[in-house]
């Protein structure tokens, strides 16, 4: 084989290698592009599904909290309150429920104390009558009337003791009512914080989609705390307006 023939053969081999290389590269590029497109599509679809899931979860949670708030609002709203009037703040509603329970507790305590005072006076009189009957029994001949009177007096003393024992329920009732009041206040704080902070976060996200999520969360919590505290910079109307915007 001459030198020219060898050179020609090498050129043909080089052309064949170049063609094969191009085919392999094109095939790999196409396959990689398809695989990458499929993976991106799958990832985006999964992200959209997860986003929709959490969006619905948040919506359902807020809807449930709103129903709880509205039920408490209807339960604690004065009878003179009409549907067209603005709904009170959550804190005010829970405070009203707590106040009503406090009133019940105070009324019950007062009635119990008055009854116990009367019973204690009767017990003192019964003891005095008992002593007098004992003397009468010694100085005179015991007859059926005196014996019957002693029996009645003893029964009266037993009944007074039973009344005093029964009135001890006030302590247990008072403790239970106090626990209910404490629970209402905790529910107040939890419901108000969760509903308002979530609503503020959603609103902030809609107004500034590119804003950092952690910043949104911190600002929402701070605003919620400000609403619960003394209204120094904001009037009550501002608070009512915000609650109205959040669906309350």
pLDDT of 2-25, one tens digit each?
Answer: 766 677 777 677 676 767 666 766
Confidence of residue 83 (pLDDT cuts 50, 70, 90): very low
For position 142, what pLDDT does the model report? 59
% of the chain with per-residue pLDDT over 90:
0
| Residues near 217 by beta carbon (within 8 Å), at least 6 away in sequence | 197, 201
Rg (CA), the chain: 42
The span from the CA of 174 to the CA of 172, in Å, is 5
| Position with higher pLDDT, 42 vs 120 | 120
The span from the CA of 224 to the CA of 199, in Å, is 10
Tell me: pLDDT of 116 over 60: yes
Confidence of residue 248 (pLDDT cuts 50, 70, 90): low
- Average pLDDT (205-222) is 80
Rounded to two decimals, what is the model's pTM?
0.42
Tell me: pLDDT of 68 over 60: yes
In this predicted structure, which of 44-53, 152-161, 162-171, 177-186 has the lowest mean pLDDT? 44-53
Q: How many CA atoms lie within 13 A of 182 on its CB side?
A: 6
For position 85, what pLDDT does the model report? 43
Q: What is the DSSP string of 102-152?
A: HHHHHHHHHHHHHHHHHHHHHHHHHHHHHHHHHHHHHHS---HHHHHHHHH
Torsion of Cα atoms, 153 then 154 then 158 then 164, to 10°: 50
Tell me: pLDDT of 43 over 60: yes
Instruction: For the chain, give the mean pLDDT.
Output: 69
- Average pLDDT (168-172) is 69
């Amino acid at each position: 084989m001459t030198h020219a023939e060898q050179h020609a053969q090498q050129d043909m081999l080089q052309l064949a290698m170049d063609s094969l290389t191009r085919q392999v590269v094109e095939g790999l590029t196409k396959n990689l592009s398809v695989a990458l497109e499929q993976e991106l599509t799958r990832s985006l679809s999964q992200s959209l599904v997860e986003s929709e899931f959490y969006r619905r979860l948040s919506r359902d949670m807020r809807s449930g909290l709103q129903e709880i708030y509205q039920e408490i609002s209807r339960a604690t709203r004065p009878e003179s309150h009409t549907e067209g009037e603005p709904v009170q703040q959550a804190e005010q509603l829970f405070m009203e429920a707590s106040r009503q329970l406090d009133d019940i507790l105070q009324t019950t305590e007062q009635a119990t104390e008055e009854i116990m005072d009367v019973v204690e006076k009767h017990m003192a009189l019964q003891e005095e009558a008992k002593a007098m009957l004992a003397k009468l029994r010694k100085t005179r001949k015991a007859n059926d009337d005196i014996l019957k009177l002693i029996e009645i007096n003893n029964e009266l003393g037993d009944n007074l003791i039973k009344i005093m024992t029964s009135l001890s329920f006030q302590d247990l009732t008072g403790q239970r009512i106090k626990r209910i009041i404490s629970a209402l206040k905790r529910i107040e704080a939890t419901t108000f914080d969760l509903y308002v902070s979530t609503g503020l976060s959603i609103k902030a996200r809609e107004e500034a989609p590119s804003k950092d999520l952690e910043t949104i969360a911190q600002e929402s919590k701070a605003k919620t705390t400000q609403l619960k505290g003394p209204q120094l910079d904001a009037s009550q109307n501002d608070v009512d307006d915000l609650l109205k915007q959040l669906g309350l």
